[in-house]
């Protein structure tokens, strides 16, 4: 099953535009790399790798088979629906040694280090030169490196924006807003991920001057976070009638539109692309800027198959491996040359989702400490239960 999103379009239909964005400080900062490609010979390693990734992506099999063919290493994949579950299972694995590598998003790096769950990658064994500018340096690099150790290496990046029914809830870029999720006449027609929706509502309220403190200060102080999120939660609960379903993973997000009557939602780009294949659905960036995420690999502190983990990492940053993983997640590749192997047929999807200056407005998830994540989960639970 082939899954593709703005990544393949970005790099097939708008390569220069996309590369310019990646090179800009607006995206995530950029510094060029010129080191040669490094890939170990096929079957230079053997054995297995126990990896924990994300659920709901059928294309994973193709990527894993390509890796095994290249290296002889078998990947035992355990799928989880969301970041919180990956974190919880990683804490268990710290006792059992069940996993060698895990696949959270870069904004979670600090919480894994704070809980002493992961070890830093040996940069001498990782082909950092093969990543696109801005992927392992700049803002992304700042979140990945803690006290001099690089704990996170990227796999793909993507966005969370507005999926909409073109017939029942038509939207257009420049007018579409995160505030549309909370509008009148949408009772029982909206799907969101609880914590993402609260963050987006916080951005809307902040822009309207309705928060006691700047929203971004919520990520710097737990006291400010609670002060702001009390206001955000109150507003969300007052408009909760709009929510027909909360989603945590890809399968649930698609089901909200497919079977539960949602006509608009704040979802991943993969949801927009896949729903567009089934019916009159579109995916568009809100005028406030799409939420952007950077997903990648961390090695457990008690990993058993460490050499295999480095083989896995360096396969993913080759053009072949990067394109395969990008296709798995319907997301943007992080390695040089992967763009040239992507399917150009998704140009229409990309252009509709990110026209004009949309890519320059990306809003990247900030670093989130363990204490912040705990509080965020409490507010999300209150939103769901309220």
Give pLDDT tens digits for 68-92. 999 999 999 999 999 999 999 999 9
CA distance 298 to 371: 20
The residues spanned by each domain of the chain are 6-157+293-359, 159-291+366-385
Predicted pLDDT at 16: 30
- How far apart are alpha carbons 306 and 321 in whole angstroms? 19
Helix (H, G, I), strand (E, B) or coil at 3: coil
> For 55-69, what is each residue's pLDDT tens digit?
988 778 888 999 999
Q: What is the dihedral of CA 56, 60, 61, 62, to 10 degrees?
A: 140
Q: Which conformational region is residue 42 in: left (phi greater than 0), alpha (psi within -120 to 50 degrees), or beta?
A: beta
Superfamily of domain 6-157+293-359: Periplasmic binding protein-like II (3.40.190.10)
Q: Are 67 and 297 contacting, i.e. CB atoms less than 8 angstroms apart?
A: no
Positive/negative CA dihedral, 86, 89, 93, 95: positive
pLDDT given for residue 18 in this prediction: 35
Q: What is the pLDDT of residue 19?
A: 32
Distance, CA of 287 to CA of 143 (rounded, Å): 26
Residue range 24-33, pLDDT digits in tens: 333 333 333 2
DSSP state letter for 169: S
User: Do 6-157+293-359 and 159-291+366-385 share a fold?
Assistant: yes
- For the domain spanning 159-291+366-385, the CATH number is 3.40.190.10
DSSP for 255-286 reads HHHHTS--SEEEEEHHHHHHHHHHSSEEEE--
Q: What is the pLDDT of residue 358?
A: 87
Question: Which pLDDT belongs to residue 10?
Answer: 38
CB atoms under 10 Å from CB of 93, counted, come to: 22
CA dihedral 53, 379, 240, 160 (to 10 degrees): -40
pLDDT at 24: 33
Mean pLDDT by groups of 10 residues along the chain of 386 residues: 38 34 33 32 66 88 91 96 96 96 96 97 96 86 94 94 97 96 97 98 98 97 98 98 96 96 95 92 95 95 97 95 86 85 68 82 91 97 97
């Amino acid at each position: 099953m082939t899954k593709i999103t703005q990544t393949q379009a970005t790099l097939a239909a708008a390569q220069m535009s996309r590369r310019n964005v990646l090179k800009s400080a607006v995206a995530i900062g950029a510094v060029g790399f010129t080191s040669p490609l490094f890939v170990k010979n096929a079957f230079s390693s053997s054995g297995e790798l126990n990896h924990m990734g994300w659920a709901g992506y059928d294309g994973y099999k193709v990527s894993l088979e390509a890796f095994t063919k290249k290296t002889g290493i078998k990947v035992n994949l355990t799928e989880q629906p969301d970041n919180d579950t990956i974190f919880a299972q990683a804490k268990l694995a710290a006792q059992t040694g069940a996993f060698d590598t895990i696949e959270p998003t870069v904004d979670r790096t600090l919480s894994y280090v704070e809980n002493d769950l992961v070890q830093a990658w040996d940069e001498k064994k990782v082909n950092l030169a093969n990543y696109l500018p801005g992927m392992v340096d700049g803002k992304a690099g700042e979140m990945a490196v803690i006290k001099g150790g690089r704990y996170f290496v990227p796999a793909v990046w993507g966005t969370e924006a507005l999926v909409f029914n073109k017939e029942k809830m038509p939207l257009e870029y420049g007018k579409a807003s995160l505030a549309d999720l909370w509008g009148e006449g949408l009772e029982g027609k909206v799907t969101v991920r609880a914590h993402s929706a609260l963050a987006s509502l916080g951005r809307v309220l902040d822009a309207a001057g309705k928060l006691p403190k700047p929203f971004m200060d919520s990520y710097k102080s737990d006291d400010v976070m609670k002060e702001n999120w009390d206001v955000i939660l109150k507003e969300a609960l007052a408009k909760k009638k709009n929510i027909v379903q909360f989603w945590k993973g890809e399968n649930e997000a698609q089901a909200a539109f497919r079977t539960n009557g949602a006509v608009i939602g704040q979802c991943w780009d993969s949801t927009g692309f896949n729903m567009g294949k089934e019916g009159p659905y579109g995916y568009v960036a809100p005028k406030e800027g799409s939420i952007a995420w950077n997903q990648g690999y961390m090695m457990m502190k008690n990993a058993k198959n460490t050499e295999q983990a480095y083989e896995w990492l360096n396969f993913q940053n080759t053009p072949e491996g990067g394109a395969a993983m990008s296709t798995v997640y319907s997301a943007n590749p992080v390695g040089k040359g992967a763009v040239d192997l992507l399917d150009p047929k998704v140009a229409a999807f990309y252009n509709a989702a990110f026209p004009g200056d949309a890519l320059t407005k990306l809003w990247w998830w900030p670093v989130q400490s363990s204490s912040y994540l705990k509080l965020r989960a409490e507010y999300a639970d209150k939103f769901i239960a309220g």
